[in-house]
Amino acid sequence: MKKILKSLCAGMALAAAMSLVSAQEVVTIYAPDGRIAQIYESDLEAYKAVGWYDNFEDTVQTVYAPDGRSETHFKAEIPAYLAVGWFENRDDTLAVIFDGKGNSALIYLAELEAYRAAGWFGHPLRVDPARPMVSLTFDDGPSLSATPVILDVLEKYRVRATFFQLGSEVAKYPLVTKRACEMGCEIGTHTYSHPNLAKLSSWDIASQIRTSSAEISLACGSAPGLLRPPYGSYNDTVKAAASMPLILWSVDTLDWKTRDTQKDIYAVLSSTKDGDIVLMHDIYMPTAEAVKTIVPELLKRGFQLVTVSELAAAKGYSMSAATAYSSFR
Ligand code: NI
């Protein structure tokens, strides 16, 4: 009797222990290198914290080759693909080329050299001409306040903008300008000290452009190819003295006047169309705050955010000196 009781007790203890185990849900988890493990659900967060996933789909990523091939691999292998020239975004594999007779084509990067050898010209514009696009432009900077915030947003969403900068400010903050260049943004000149060019002599106009271009060259390693005249003010003397295209705008946010984030957002989102050039200023924090909403919303609406030169090229324009442009459609 005593013996039976003892084994009964042992059995009950075992059953109790088993019910403890079964109360712990077992889940399957996946490492970024393809390993699979089964763990108690209570340990899930700890595994996730060190990079495991509870969805198999999360462990893989698709990468794109310059010739258009795509492959899906475990995330742990992705850096090795990027290191040999593959891309995370399909758009990055594309280039736009032109034959100079009004014809353009969208090709893969891998084909670019062959087309160039055949007399076409083009760049890895990372722009798809078939999709809508817009250029955000920022005047009067660089600044130490708004410009870095705007660059952070552009970097986060992997998009580009054009900055029309003052030589006087580039001289103060050359590293801000350098960062913008290195991110693939375009730097145009907005003169050295923001005068009304229409009131200056040809010599003074040329001097404003020469001195500001020198500062931009020092910061970026290349001279600007576009001028935005302060106040949008120009005449024939300005056009002749500029010796580069003049870039105006088709969407005016009036951010310098309102200094109001919500109004900036509304000004852009209520009217921006394919081919527009949007005017803002990277010296006001309300503008920088607005950019945090404007960029993701334009992307959501299918716009590509490109530089002014990319926009012109993708729309089939070859810009000429002494000509003013306010949009490219
Ligand atoms: Ni200005």
Distance 230 CA to ligand 1 centre (A): 5
Lowest mean per-residue pLDDT among 92-101, 290-299, 313-322: 92-101
pLDDT per residue as tens digits for the range 179-205: 998 888 999 999 999 999 999 999 999
HSE, CB side, 13 Å, CA atoms: give it for residue 54.
13
Report which of residues 156 and 129 the model is more confident about.
156
Spacing, Cα 191 to ligand 1 middle (Å): 9
Q: 3-class DSSP state for residue 30?
A: strand
Q: Point out the catalytic residue in the list 264, 276, 281, 282.
A: 281
Model pLDDT, residue 125: 58
123 belongs to the catalytic site: no
Q: Which of 259, 251, 239 is nearest to 298 (CA)?
A: 251
User: How far, in Å, from the CA of 231 to the mean position of ligand 1?
Assistant: 6
pLDDT per residue as tens digits for the range 118-134: 877 666 656 778 889 99
Higher local confidence (pLDDT), 155 or 24: 155
| In the predicted structure, residue 101 carries a pLDDT above the cut 90 | no
CA-to-CA distance for 109 and 114, rounded, in angstroms?
A: 10
Nearest-angstrom CA–CA distance, 241 and 206: 6
Distance CA 238, CA 153 (A): 34
- Dist CA 42 CA 54 (whole Å): 13
- Of 24-28, 270-274, 289-293, 322-326, least confident by mean pLDDT is 24-28
Query: What percent of the chain has pLDDT above 90?
Result: 68
Q: Which of 43, 139, 152, 260 is catalytic?
A: 139
User: What's the 256 CA to ligand 1 centre distance in angstroms?
Assistant: 9
Least confident span in 121-125, 253-257, 313-317: 121-125
**139 labelled catalytic:** yes
**Backbone phi, psi, residue 138, to 5°:** -130, 125
**pLDDT over threshold 60, residue 13:** no
Q: For residue 186, how far is the Cα from the chain centroid?
A: 12
